[in-house]
Structure formats: structure tokens, C-alpha cells
Structure 1
Amino acid sequence: MTSSPTHTPAPPVQASGTLLLLMAIACGLCAGCNYINQPLLHSIAIGLNVSEAQAAYSVTISQLAYAGGLLFLVPLGDLLDRRKLIVTLMALAAAGLLLCAITDNIALFWLGSAIAGIFSVAAQVLVPLVTLMVAPQQAGRAVGILMTGLLIGIQSARSIAGILSGTAGWQSVYVLTAVLMLAVAAALAKTLPSKAAFAAPAKSKAAQVSSQASYASTMRSLVDLFAHQPRLRSRTLMGAFSFGSLAVLFSTMALLLGKAPHQFNDMQIGLLSLVGVASALVAKPVGQWADRGLEPNTSLASAILLLVVWPPMWLATHSASIFAMGLLLLGVAIAAVHICNQSVIFQLASQARSRANAIYMTGYFLGASAGSALGVVAWDIGGWSAVCWLGLGLAGCAMAACLHDRRLAQRTHLDL
């Protein structure tokens, strides 16, 4: 009987620095396209001759569509040629963006938002793919580079969209994003390795059966994966609570900064949100720390930072500088937590990385959606003080999930 090797073999293809940069840009475009509508709602409402509430439905539609794509499309990365899948998803997302740009009908605008949202999950196929293209000890760094692009896309999309809309109209935001999406997709089609590049010289019978798995069985395997991987559950909870804590801030920042004593306009609020872009720069070093075995301490430090930032945020009612500093530090904490989480889950399920990522990211964005909704409710009930209590509570839940995960990791280490 032949024993299985305990180490991970070297990747059959290597990701160059240029390719990593291209993949990071793709992640930023895919993630950012779901946020470009948020500062444009007033202009969209005027352009389509509808109420701002109707225009605002596009935000919810985009987020729900993205969550659907995470759950139903990302697992295909373990089943299909990832290069073809990524390029196809990006092309379809671009088609949705172009539909939003050319239509004068709100229903078609909602449809375009849904198409762009559901197919923009190409970023979450790229992230597990890159871990197969580098040596195991460099996986954290590679993920960190892609996540830097993704986080910059999320953090900067609102500000860039607002500035561009003010100079060239809101449709120009959608057209430019779609053109960039198609250009990057074409470049990835030429540079990403095909599925054959990852094929082993000789497949075992089990591997052949796995490669022929149906989509239905792949979806059923999500339940099994979630049920049999306790650290996948703990890390999903940690990600959901932490991103939910940041979403509380995002959903209420305009409400706080738009009233006295701040009285910021939309452009000023958008420019202030650019502070969060700097937080994306922690992604690469955090990935490198994870490669060096420092992930447990980095996760704990990030969860602590998330907790300690919220109490001073009570003072943001009187100081925009305190708000900006809190936004920056919360962004740093969430970025570090996210990179650490993905570093862990990709090690848990090496043969099901797309599915593990689908589970994690679905929880991650459901947490954000819940945080956004609860943030507005908290504001209506008790103003900024209630918002801060909510953010602190979610940060406390993230800390509890972190401590639980540490116990699971120690138990696993003892079992070995």
C-alpha cells in the first residue's frame, strides 16, 4: 500500500508578480462594482425619473445578487476550468453594468444591477486559485496581494464613482467600469493557466470520480463541508461579526456626518471615506505573517483592535478627525481578520477551496448586510450612541468567535 505524502507538492505553475497584480486589479473591479451605485442614487433617480427609494433598491438587489453568486457560482471553481469560469463571469458582470448605463427604465436598471452583482463573484474564484499557483509557504502573501486589490476596490469605489459622476454623469461610471472589466478579463484569458496546468500526471480513481461530480452533488457537499469543519464555522462567524461591525459604520456615516455640527455634503463624505483605502495596505504584510506561522496572534490582535476602537467613536459626534481615525483603524482590523480567516480556511480544505471560500464569503457578506440594516435601526432608536453600542457588541461577538477558534486549533494540535 502506497502512503500519501504529508507535504503539499510544489505548484505546477507559478504566478509572476505581473500576473498577481492583474489578478488583484480584477478583484478590485469585481468587488468595487457593487458599491459604485451608493453615491449615485440621487443622480440615478433623476436620470430614470423615479424616487430615490426606488433607485436605492438597486443597492439591496446588488448585495443579494452577490450573496447568491457566492453560494451558487463560486463552488463551480472546484468543478470547472477556473480560467474560463473567471473570464465568463467578468464578461457577464460587464454586460450587467452596460445595461445599467444604457437603460432609461428602472426595472431594467434593477436587472442590470442583479446581473452585475451575481457575476462579479469572479474575485472569489481568483482568490482560491492563486493559492494553487504559488508554493504553500507563499500562499498567505499571494492572498494578501489579491485582497489588497479587493479591499482597495471596495474602499475607493464610492469616492471615485462620486467624483466621476460629478464630471461626466452617472452613466459614465458604469460604462468605464464595464470597459475596464472586459479589458482585464481579456488579459486574464491570455495569462491565467488552464485547468490542464493543474492536472496531476496520473489521477487516482477517487480523483476521477471527484472531477466528474455533478453540480448538485457539489452543492450538497457545501453542507457536509460546513458540518465537518468546525474551524470553517468559527472563522465564518468571526468574519461575519467583524464585517458586520464595520458595516454598521458604513450604513450610518452619512447620517452622522451630514448633520450638525459636521454638515458634510456628499462629496466631502466621499472624500473622507478614502481614509479607509489605506487600511487595505495591511493585507500583504498580514498574509506574510500568516505564512510565518503568526496567524493566531495576528487574529487575536486584530479582534482586540476591533473592540478597542469603538469606545472612542462615541466622540465622533463632535470630531470628524476621531471619526476618520476610527474608520481607518476599523478598516485595518477587518482587513487583518479577513486575511487571517482565509489563510486558515484554505488550509482546512485543500481539495475544496472554492467551496470553503463560498461558505465563508457568504457568511461574511450576510454579516455585512445584517450590520447595515441593524445600524440604521440603531440610529433610528438611539442615534449615534446606539450605533456605537451595536458596533461594540458585534466586535465582542467577533472576539468570542476568535477565542473559540483558538480553542479549536489547540484541540486539533493536541489530537495530532
Structure 2
Amino acid sequence: MAPAYSPRLILLFAITCALAVANVYFAQPLLGSIAHSLSVTPSAIGVVVSATQLGYALGLLFIVPLGDLLNRKVLMLSQLLLSAVALAVAGAAQQWSTLLMAMVLVGLMAVLVQVMVACAAALAGPAQRGRAVGAVTSGVVLGILLARLSAGVIADLAGWRAVYFLSSALMLVAAVVLWRVVPAMEKPAQVASYPELLRSVFGLLLRERTLQVRGVLASLIFAAFSVLWTAMVLPLSAAPWSLSHTQIGLFGLAGIAGALAASRAGQWTDRGLGQRVTGWSLVLLTLSWLPSAFVETSLVALVIGVILLDFAVQAVHVTNQSLILAARPDAQSRLVGAYMCFYSVGSALGAAAATLVYGQWGWSAVCLLGGATSLGALLFWFATLRLPGALKVPCAQVY
């Protein structure tokens, strides 16, 4: 169906994923500027992030499964070109409604990331699956960091609209590179039609216990992730810190720990350590909210909290994907799409709740929300250990 596994090809996938996922996170450090430019209240501006996540969820459900039906190279190129159009519309938007519709389309096309993750898993053999998924996910993490830092710098120099115009151009460049470099891929022959494909996605959600358990974990950890990164810009841009876009974006560099976790977690999972990685990472995630609570008095404490949170979230995320893809190698695109729907729902709810809670009760309440969500994930994981065979089945089946 596709060319043989190649580290260089996986690197290209990782770079493309970094560019694509950045589109989802550009808005986080720009919320204040967007709100001022379009006359939107601070309590409502989080809807920009939620709109992007809504589009992402729809894309996961209706576009990512196409990787098991269509030629994946054609699918990836189409997503890049449509992303360029959506980003250009977002940058030119003069009305709140126009921006929201554009951001839904941006999120819809950003699921290119999951198409590439499934493709990387398909190219790699069982012994390398976790390593390949971890490598591509490392690119995703670096893309998130790039988004927060570069968006702040560009906005300070040329305004928030320039961020989206530049990204639109990069999507066009990426499309040209993929068209020229990625070898031809055969059309998968696993399902006969698109309706059958979608029905099979719902079937996987109903039958695959690994997907169900790991999906719930994804929704909880990414809700906590979104709570921090969506609300964090508000106290940092206000007194006493009053930081600029660039300065706020620099906090994303603390999340480099997430890239390290992503690159290692896949290898640990290949060795059969999926449950241990999950448990310890969820403990770190819960504890990360303690230093983050002191953001109004200590920026160092916030950096520590960001490092712990990003490391924990990405370690669990890569472990989730590696185990789910190992459970059903014949349905990798559909599995990734279904799993990431949980991620997107959690992220959207976390973003909306974070700005609402901050506007009503302040930063301490935001940390309580994030801590409770993280603790809920830890307790849920612990409860699943009692399910039949949870600790005894082979690595490919452990959830």
C-alpha cells in the first residue's frame, strides 16, 4: 500500500505535523489581541479555541477515517490546500462570526496530523510502531511550542492577522514538498464505501475496550492541558506581570519536556511498560497544578508546572495511541480518528471552562478545576486496572 518504513520519511511527517498542529494553537497567546480587535468580551474569547476544537472533532470523525478508504497522499495534499484557504480567511476576518467559521475549518483540516500518525504506524512494523508514533508526535509537540512562541513574536511585530497569513503560505509550501517527496501510495482496500467506513468507526467505539478506556483518559488529560494553556495568558497579560505576546509565548519552551516524553514513551510502550508510564504520568499531571497555582507571585513556579504538565500529557498521549493502534492494525486511521474525538471534546470543554472560571473566580479556581480533572484521570485509570486481564495481556492489548 505504501513505501517501506524510512526514518527520513517519518521526519518529513513530523515536520509537516508540526506546521499543521500549530494552526490549532496559534490563537491561545493571541486571545487578548483578537478580543480587542473584534470587540469581544474576555469571558467569551475562549470560544475561538473551542470553535477550532469543534472543527477538529468533526474532522476526526468524518475525515481521518478516509485514510482507510482513499489514497493517503492525495488526502494529505487536499487537507494542506484547504488549510491554506481557511487560514487566509481567518487572517482577513472583520466579523466575529467570520472568524469563528474560519477557525472551524482550520480545525477541520488540521486533522492532517492524525492521517500522518496512522500512516506512520502502518509503515512501521510491530517492533517499531511505538517509536514511529513517538517520533511523529514529537513533531506535534514541537509544533505546539512553535505556535505559542512564533504567534507571540509575529503578533508583536505585525499584528495577530499576520500569524494566519504566514501560516497559510507555509501550508502551500508544505503541500509542494509532500507532492514532490512522498512516494505514491496505493488506495487501501479494507472498506467498500464511505457510509460503511463511518459505520465501522461507531462500531469500533462500541466494541473496542482499549479504545474506550484510552479515549476517556485522553478527554480528561487534554481537558486539563487546555485549562492551563487557555487561561494562562490571562493572568500573565494582566498586572502585576503585564507580559507581551512574545514573553507569554516563551513559556511554551518549557513544554519541550513534552517532546522528550513523546519520543521516549513510545519506546517504553514497545517494551511493555504502557501501564507504568500511564500511572506515573497521571500522578505528575495531578501534582503539576500545585506550582502552577502560584503564577501570580512566581513565574518560576509556573514554568515548573508547565514542564510537569506537558511531560505527563504527552507521555500518556503517545502511550494511548501506541496501544490502540496495536490492538487493531487493520483499522489504524479509524482508530486514530475515533480516539482523537475524545481528545478534541476534552480540549474544547477545557478551553471554554477555563476562561469562564477565570472570569468568575480567578486563577486559583482555574487550578482547582485543572487539578480535579487530572485527579479524575488518575482515579479512572486506577479503576480500570480491575478490569479482567488488564495486567496480564500482552503489550499490544494492554490499555
Looking at structure 2, the residues matched to 310 and 41 of structure 1 have their Cα atoms a distance apart, in angstroms, of 22
- State the AA in 1 paired with 2:155: S
- Between stretches 139-148 and 368-377, larger displacement belongs to 368-377
Q: Indicate yes or no: 2:79 matched with 1:100.
A: no
Q: Residue type of the partner of 1:219?
A: L
Partner of 2:142: 152
Instruction: Compute the displacement of 1:43 (Å).
Output: 4.7
**2:343 aligned residue:** 364
Is it true that 1:294 corresponds to 2:284 in the alignment?
no
One-letter amino acid of the counterpart of residue 366, structure 1: V
Greater shift, 388-397 or 119-128, is seen at 388-397
- Corresponding position of 2:289: 310
Q: Are the structure 2 counterparts of residues 86 and 409 from structure 1 closer, same or farther at C-alpha, using a change threshold of 3 Å? A: farther
Aligned-pair distance for 1:110?
A: 3.7
| Inter-partner Cα distance in structure 1 for 2:171 and 2:88 | 11
Q: Which residue of 2 aligns with 1:173?
A: 163
Residue 28 of structure 1: aligned partner: 18
Decide whether the 8 Å contact of 1:235 with 1:401 is kept in 2.
no
Assess, with a 3 A threshold, how the Cα gap between structure 1 residues 36 and 351 changes in structure 2: closer, same or farther: same
Q: What corresponds to 2:124 in structure 1? A: 134
- Confirm or deny: 8 A CA contact 1:70 1:121 kept in the other structure: yes
Match of 1:7 in 2: none
Deviation, 1:46, is 6.6
Contact 1:20–1:142 at 8 Å: present in 2 too?
A: yes
Residues 234-313 of structure 1: pairs in structure 2 closer than 5 A:
234-313=213-292
* C-alpha distance in 2 between matches for 1:98 and 1:167: 18
Equivalent in 16, 40, 65 of residue 52 of structure 1: 40
CA distance in 2, matches of 1:380, 1:58: 16
Q: Check conservation: 1:55, 1:106, Cα contact below 8 A.
A: no
> Which of these residues, 188, 191, 195, is aligned with residue 211 of structure 1?
191
Structure 1 residues 104 and 260, CA gap change in structure 2 (3 angstroms): closer
Cα deviation for residue 23 of structure 1 reads 0.4
| Residues 32, 157 of structure 1: 8 Å contact kept | yes
Q: What is the TM-score with the length of structure 2 in the denominator?
A: 0.90
- The residue number in structure 2 matching 1:143 is 133
Rg bigger for which structure? 1
Structure 2 residue 75 is the aligned partner of structure 1 residue 85? yes
SS in 1 for 2:340: helix
Equivalent AA in structure 1 for residue 39 of structure 2: S
Amino acid at match of 2:277: T
Query: In the alignment, residue 139 of structure 1 is paired with which amino acid?
Result: R
Instruction: Measure, in 1, the Cα distance between the counterparts of 2:2 and 2:339.
Output: 27
- Inter-partner Cα distance in structure 1 for 2:285 and 2:307: 11
Q: Which residue of 2 aligns with 1:3?
A: none
Residue 38 in structure 1 maps to residue 17 in structure 2? no
Distance of 1:44 and 1:376 partners within structure 2: 15
**Hey, what does 1:203 align to over in structure 2?**
none
8 A contact 1:234–1:404 mirrored in 2 = no
- Which residue of the other structure, out of 114, 120, 130, is the alignment partner of 2:104? 114
Give the whole-Å Cα distance in 1 for the aligned partners of 2:351 and 2:282.
20
Q: 1:141 to 1:56 in 2, by over 3 A?
A: same
Q: Secondary structure at the match of 1:410?
A: coil
Q: Would the aligned equivalents of 1:282 and 1:332 in 2 still touch at CA under 8 Å?
A: yes
**Structure 1 stretch 112-121 or stretch 135-144: which is displaced more?**
112-121
Matched, 1:398 2:377: yes
Q: Tell me the TM-score normalized by structure 1.
A: 0.86
Q: Deviations over 1:281-333 (max 9, x none)?
A: 22111111112222221111111111222234333332111011101110000
| Contact residue 289 and residue 370 of structure 2 kept, 8 A | yes
* 2:62 is aligned with 1:72: yes
Deviations 1:329-376 (A, max 9, x none): 100000101000001110122111111111111111211111222223
Superposed counterparts of 1:318-337, under 5 Å: 318-337=297-316
Give the superposition deviation at 1:45. 6.1
Matched residues in 2 for 1:378 and 1:113: separation? Answer: 23
Paired residue total = 393
Structure 2 partner of 1:233? 212
Higher relative contact order (CA 8 A, sep 6+): 2
> SS state of the match for residue 89, structure 2?
helix
